[in-house]
Amino acid sequence: NAGVTQTPKFRILKIGQSMTLQCTQDMNHNYMYWYRQDPGMGLKLIYYSVGAGITDKGEVPNGYNVSRSTTEDFPLRLELAAPSQTSVYFCASSYSTSGDNEQYFGPGTRLTVT
Amino acid sequence: EDQVTQSPEALRLQEGESSSLNCSYTVSGLRGLFWYRQDPGKGPEFLFTLYSAGEEKEKERLKATLTKKESFLHITAPKPEDSATYLCAVQAVSFQKLVFGTGTRLLVSP
SS (H, E, C) B22-41: EEEEECCCEEEEEEEEECCC
pLDDT on residue A37: 96
Would you call B103 and A42 a contact, using CB atoms and an 8 Å cutoff? yes
Residue B30 has pLDDT above 80, yes or no: yes
Would you call A90 and B44 a contact, using CB atoms and an 8 Å cutoff? yes
Distance, CA of B70 to CA of B22 (rounded, Å): 7
Set of chain B residues whose Cβ sits within 8 Å of the Cβ of A33: 97
Set of chain A residues whose Cβ sits within 8 Å of the Cβ of B31: 101
Residue B25 CB contacts under 8 Å (≥ 6 apart), including other chains: B2, B3, B4, B5, B33, B69, B70, B71, B88, B90
Q: What are phi and psi of A61, to 5 degrees?
A: -85, -15
pLDDT on residue A48: 93
The domain in which residue A29 lies consists of 4-94
Q: Which residues of chain A have pLDDT under 50?
A: none
Residue A65 CB contacts under 8 Å (≥ 6 apart), including other chains: A47, A76, A77, A79
Set of chain B residues whose Cβ sits within 8 Å of the Cβ of A90: 43-44
Which domains occur in chain B, in start order?
A: 3-109 (2.60.40.10)
* CATH number of the domain enclosing A82: 2.60.40.10
pLDDT on residue B1: 82
Q: Tens digit of pLDDT for each residue in B46-89?
A: 999 999 999 999 999 999 999 999 999 999 999 999 999 999 99
By CA distance, what is B86's nearest residue in A? A42
Distance, CA of B71 to CA of B48 (rounded, Å): 11
Q: What is the DSSP string of B47-76?
A: EEEE-STT-EEEETTEEEEE-SSEEEEEE-
pLDDT on residue A100: 58
In a domain, A69, yes or no: yes
Average pLDDT estimate for B41-46: 95
Question: Letter for the amino acid at A60?
Answer: V
In a domain, A113, yes or no: no
Would you call B102 and A41 a contact, using CB atoms and an 8 Å cutoff? yes
In a domain, A104, yes or no: no
Give the total number of structural domains in chain A. 1
